[in-house]
Amino acid sequence: MQGFRQLEQHEHDTRLDPNWIHLMIAAKEIGISIEEVRQFLQECTPGGDEPD
């Protein structure tokens, strides 16, 4: 889980959005991996293609 550790260490880095950092930490806490978050974001499209 090196990726999450890096996020926590750089939480105050102004180049990173604090909301995304907190989202990733929350995902970690409930057992969602970085890869699962990446997969979810790749599958989502702006506006969504939800069925009618």
Give exposure, 26-44, as e/b (b: 16+ Cβ within 10 Å).
ebbeeeeeeeebeeeeeee
| Chain segment 2-52, per-residue pLDDT in tens | 565 565 555 555 678 888 889 899 999 999 998 998 888 888 867 655 554
What local confidence, expressed as pLDDT, does residue 9 receive?
A: 57
